[in-house]
Amino acid sequence: MSYTTRVLVLSSIFLAALLAVMAFTLVPSRETPARARPTLRTLAAAGRAPEKVRRSSETGRRELIRVVERQLEALRKNDYVLAFTFASSRLHDQFTASGFRQMMQTGYPIINWSRAAEFGASYDDEEEALLGVAVTGESGETRYYQYLFQREGKDWKIAGVVEQRPHPEKARTKP
C-alpha cells in the first residue's frame, strides 16, 4: 500500500478519534451567543457526521498545507516567534513564545527538528479543519500526525497537533 493511500485511509479512521479526544471544547455561535453550538469535534464524539464537514477543496487543502510548511520552515530556522504566529489564539492564551519553544522541543521533537513532511487528506467545516501529516525528523524517523486548524478571520491557524498511534507501519499484521 502506498504512503498516500495509507495516509488517506488513516486520516479518515483517526478523524473521529481525534475529534473525540478534543470533544470537550465548544465554540460559541456568533449567531446565538447565549448557546453553544455543536462543533466538528462534539458531533464526531457523539458519533454523528456533521452536515457541513467535507473533504477540503484542493485550494483549501493547499492553504492548510502552506500553514504547516511555513511553521516547519520557521522551526527549522529556530525562529520560534515566527513559528508561534501560525498558532491559534487559543494556543496564544495558553503559551508565551518561550513556552511554545519549550513545548515544541520537548513534546514534538520530530516536528521541531523536521527535515521533510508529506500531506494526506484534509477535512473542514469552514471553521475547523483537519490535515493528516507525515513528518520525518532529523534522524530519519517518520511519525504521523493530525493537525487541527481553527479559522481566524480569513486565515487558518494551527489549534493542535495529535500524533497518530499506532503508526501505520507498526499496525500491519505479520503473515
Residue labelled with grid coordinates 491559534: 88
Q: Round the average pLDDT of the chain to a whole number and report it.
A: 76
How far, in Å, CA of 79 to CA of 105, rounded?
Answer: 12
Residue 2 has a pLDDT of 54
Mean pLDDT calculated for residue range 94-109: 95
How far, in Å, CA of 98 to CA of 85, rounded?
Answer: 13
Tell if the pTM clears 0.75, that is, is over it.
no
Rounded to a whole number of angstroms, the CA Rg of the chain reads 16
How far, in Å, CA of 108 to CA of 96, rounded?
Answer: 17
Cβ contact 82:67 at 8 Å: no
Cβ contact 129:56 at 8 Å: yes
Q: Is the pLDDT of residue 126 over 80?
A: yes
Q: Is the pLDDT of residue 18 over 60?
A: no
Quick one: how far is CA 79 from the chain centroid?
A: 20
Cβ contact 120:10 at 8 Å: yes
Residue labelled with grid coordinates 449567531: 31
How far, in Å, CA of 110 to CA of 93, rounded?
Answer: 24
How far, in Å, CA of 114 to CA of 96, rounded?
Answer: 22
| Percentage with pLDDT > 70 across the chain | 65
How far, in Å, CA of 16 to CA of 146, rounded?
Answer: 11
Measured in degrees and rounded to the nearest 5, phi and psi for residue 140 equal 95, -5
Mean pLDDT calculated for residue range 116-125: 93
Residue 144 has a pLDDT of 94
Which one has a higher pLDDT value, 61 or 51? 61
Domain annotation for the chain: domains and CATH numbers: 3-171 (3.10.450.50)
CA dihedral 35, 22, 79, 89 (to 10 degrees): 10
Which one has a higher pLDDT value, 150 or 28? 150
Residue 166: asked if its preceding bond is cis (omega within 30°), the reply is yes
**pLDDT tier for residue 78 given thresholds of 50, 70 and 90:** very high
